[in-house]
Amino acid sequence: MSPRAPEGGAWPFQDRSLGQFVDDMLAVSAPLYRDLPWRGIDDPYAVLVSEIMLQQTQVVRVERFWRRFLEDFPTIDALAAAAVPDVLERWQGLGYNRRALALKRTADQCAAENAGCLPATYEGLLALPGIGPATAAGVMAFAYQQPGLYLETNVRAVFLHELFPDEEQVSDRVLEPLVRAAAFHPVAAADLRRWYYGLLDYGAHLKATVPNPSRRSASHSRQSTFEGSRRQKRAWVVRRVLAAPEGVKATQVLVDLEHTEREAGRPEVGEELFASIVDDLVSEGFFRRVGQVLVP
């Protein structure tokens, strides 16, 4: 189901009306506006690329990649026609490479089934690979100006800071009706871009100036250290295989990875962990295995 406008009683704060909250947020966020290249555009595909890139990645890094990615793959059809290794190569440096594969699969599906266009409904977007509720709501708000439940980390920080300043372990189930109520308020809904851009900018400001309000969310978890992690080794293997267009023996990749780990002062990977990583990457579509050779 699409996110719906809240029914009566969804705003429980007696000392601060919904209208006052919306006015306050628009006022406090106005001077914090960030003129980012993916803002104020009507291309749903370009908006989707920005939303996917911004997942777990700082804005300053995304700014360096978004334009370049769209120059290489300006449309859904262009991305669908591209080879997976080329897409992954353009993604290198952003991390979380699964996002690139999901975006590629979305393009493949839309090119094959929807004439190279993204669906114009929340339900249609949600059915595509790698698109969750927040991403679908973001595309609906920023590309189509349609209100919905866009609850991402900066938005969450604002609601926690403003409405639950002294509470810990606040559940998203508590926040969701409030975020939805605000989005459907006539003043916010009149310009969804302005409303959600403001929340994003204010949330980013809060994280830079006060203890991160998101830490008081029940869904908050500290990101694990990248260096030495399985995720770091996965990323290294992907880069190593992509650097060999004709393919490279798995045994050579393991030798090179072990050398890299020793140089970094980390323990050896071992054949079992390496085989598990390669199996996962092959099954996820990052590269192919032809005999003993890994091929982009």
113/180 Cα distance (integer angstroms): 31
Q: Which of 70, 79, 74 has its CA nearest to residue 101?
A: 79
* In contact, 157 and 122? CB cutoff 8 Å: no
106/128 Cα distance (integer angstroms): 6
Tokens standing for residue 124? 């249609």
Active-site residue identified among 7, 51, 162, 268: 51
**What is the chain's alpha carbon radius of gyration, rounded to the nearest angstrom?**
22
Burial profile 74-104: b = 16 or more Cβ within 10 angstroms, e = fewer: ebbbebbebebbbbbbbbeebbebebbbbbb
Residue spans of alpha helices (H) in 129-270: 133-144, 153-163, 172-184, 186-189, 192-209, 230-242, 250-263
152 is catalytic: no
282/216 Cα distance (integer angstroms): 38
150/209 Cα distance (integer angstroms): 23
80/256 Cα distance (integer angstroms): 32
* In contact, 134 and 180? CB cutoff 8 Å: no
Query: CB-based contacts of 17: which residues, under 8 Å, 6+ apart?
Result: 11
| Active-site annotation, residues | 51
